[in-house]
Structure 1
Amino acid sequence: MDNNGEIIDLPPGFRFHPTDEELITHYLTNKVLDQSFNPIAIGEADLNKCEPWDLPCKAKMGEKSWYFFCVKDRKYPTGSRTNRATVSGYWKATGKDRDIHRGKTLVGMKKTLVFYMGRAPKGEKTNWVMHEYRLDGKISPYNLPKAPKNEWVICRVFKKALEVKKPMGMGIERSNSSLIPPLMELSSASSGNRALAATESQLAHVTCFSSATKMEAMGGHEELFAPECFSNSTFLPQIQLSSQFEIDPSFVNLLCPGAGFVQLLGNNNGWASSH
């Protein structure tokens, strides 16, 4: 249904999404040549008397974008500057105007504007955006057979979605976190390192070889590998040694640092060879 209450018969799924070139050649050109031209998809509005949030209710159709024919309001009767102020704010041009071509021929220009609340230059920027289409090139108003009294344009108005800014450093933390192994693997590796460190600590502090003072207190080298030494050790298992039990020197050297000279002592005292 349009603004006049008339029902518009449209096929199911119909959407009005014209290209920039179609807006210029199929709609704006016809409006400039014939002011009575009234398509079903584009209405008329005075953007100087309407706030952007009121425009969706005045449009003939549209869900996220609304199209209007507008007459550019001159700020001064003899000048070329356009009045873009409303009661609540003003439209401010941003960026550079873009060319619109039909094939290789220039047919129009596209200007982007943003709505600001308040008065320039201290206005507050909003999310309302407008694309203004005007004729240019060979079909500009000044090159038409009969120059129009008013300069018509087509305005496409829409509200830009809010942009959520990510905190600084989030991307770096995320990239570094991918290099860290899972928590369980990290904890298991740490526990393995702690167990290895504890084993090394125990190997380095075996009661038999902790200090020379203890060795002397045990009666010298002759009793260094006596059964009492191994039975009282905090690291070696409690083994009841007998004359039939043979200790492999390589096994002792593996468990007790400094046991590499066991064979030397055995050869001197005959302890290892006697078994």
Structure 2
Amino acid sequence: MEDLAPGIRFYPTEEELVSFYLHHKLEGNREDLNRVMGRVIPVLDLYEYSPWDLPQYAGDLSGRDPEQWFFFIPRQESEARGGRPNRLTAAGYWKATGSPGHVYSNNRSIGVKRTMVFYKGRAPNGRKTDWKMNEYKAIQGESSSSSSTVASLTLRQEFSLCQVYKKSKCLRSFDRRPIGVEIGQRRAQKSQSDRRARASTHPNPEMVETRSSPESSSSGDHGYHAAIPPQTGESSSIPMPIGSQPSWEWDLLDWYYGEQN
């Protein structure tokens, strides 16, 4: 694990977190796998630490990640006695936000996800921070996603798996690209989607090409020319008046700077 090539990150999907990592941790019947997983996702009583101290306790792979860290959390004594978990820390507390959701595999619910936000201080006067956490719990047995609600599910409580991260006001590091590259890629995607839309509107490309060609422009059939202007040279874009700017380019700039704010 120490000799990974540059650019390789530990970035599992939610399905993989529950169906593989959490499932094998709960079963605990493979010592060799448990040792490897312990280096990737360590067991930690997360609520004994402030969130900004957690990265130093992360595993070999996620410990070097600047944005997200994973931990197995053992069941608290209060939970074992049927009570609620204590999410207080020395600096503040974790507060659940939104409603719990399902984690799916092959259209079946295999786990439950709950998102929490860290607040400094004590309730009800705590100050909201940018630190967040997704807590995953596995479902006991199997459940149909179409007929079961989160409240009716029986969850495995021995361990939960948590993903801790800090909310960012800009693009995440693994999605950051220079603005020119970002806009260039979106221009290419826009052009490709336009070509596909025209192809789906006219299922016979040969007929469209023949009637749009310069040789057939004098045939008197102007219906296709009104819908698809003739193309010249190697450019596939629709001619525009000089000095005008395509509106979607401005939309891309608005999208990019909106993500930065």
Normalised by the size of structure 2, how large is the TM-score?
Answer: 0.53
Write the mapping of 1:41-56 to structure 2, written as runs, cut at 5 A.
41-56=40-55
Distance 1:48 1:11, change over 3 A: same
In structure 1, what is the equivalent of residue 215 of structure 2?
Answer: none
Aligned-pair CA distance for 1:26:
1.0
2:21 matches 1:27: yes
Offset, 1:14:
1.4
1:134-149 pair list within 5 angstroms:
134-136=137-139, 138=141
Q: 1:126 aligns with which of 124, 129, 143?
A: 129
- Paired AA for residue 14 in structure 1: I
C-alpha RMSD of matched pairs (Å): 2.7
Q: Deviation at 1:137?
A: 5.1
Q: How does 1:66-215 map to 2 (within 5 A)?
A: 66-75=69-78, 78-136=81-139, 138=141, 151-162=158-169
* 1-structure distance, mates of 2:8, 2:142: 30
Equivalent residue letter for 1:90:
Y
- Say if 2:10 is the partner of 1:16: yes
Separation in 2, partners of 1:151, 1:50: 20
The alpha carbon displacement at 1:79 in A equals 2.5
- Percent sequence identity is 40
Q: Distance in 2 between matches of 1:41 and 1:114?
A: 24
Moved more, 29-38 or 87-96: 29-38
CA displacement 1:51-102 (0-9 Å, x = unmatched):
1000011112222100011113254653331111111111000001110111
Q: TM-score, normalised by structure 1?
A: 0.50
- In the alignment, the residues of structure 1 paired with residue 26 and residue 160 of structure 2 have an alpha-carbon distance, to the nearest angstrom, of 9
The 1:111–1:161 alpha-carbon spacing in structure 2 relative to 1, beyond 3 Å, is same
Name the residue aligned to 1:226: none
Per the alignment, in what secondary structure is the counterpart of residue 40 of structure 2?
coil
CA deviations over 1:158-190 (Å, ceiling 9, x no partner): 111248xxxxxxxxxxxxxxxxxxxxxxxxxxx
Q: How many residues align?
A: 152
Deviation at 1:139, TM superposition (A): 5.5
Aligned-partner Cα distance in 2 for 1:27–1:46: 18
Counting helix residues as a fraction of each chain, which structure ranks higher?
A: 2
CA contact (8 A) 1:134 1:153 kept: yes
CA offsets 1:201-260 (integer angstroms, 9 cap, x no match):
xxxxxxxxxxxxxxxxxxxxxxxxxxxxxxxxxxxxxxxxxxxxxxxxxxxxxxxxxxxx
Give the counterpart letter for 1:81 in structure 2: R
**Unaligned ranges ≥5, structure 1:** 1-6, 164-275
Task: Give the number of the structure whose alpha-carbon radius of gyration is greater.
Answer: 1
Counterpart amino acid of 1:161? S
Tell me the distance in 2 between the aligned counterparts of 1:25 and 1:100: 9
CA shift, 1:151, in A, is: 1.7
Indicate the SS of the match to 1:26.
helix
Against the structure 1 CA distance between its residues 32 and 77, is the aligned structure 2 distance closer, same or farther, given a 3 Å change threshold? closer
How far residue 12 of structure 1 moved from its aligned partner, in angstroms, is 3.8
What stretches of structure 1 move > 3 A for 4+ residues in a row? 74-77
Q: Is the 8 A contact 1:73 1:84 kept in 2?
A: no
Gaps of 5+ in 2: 144-152, 171-261
1:102 to 1:77, Cα distance in 2 relative to 1, 3 A: closer
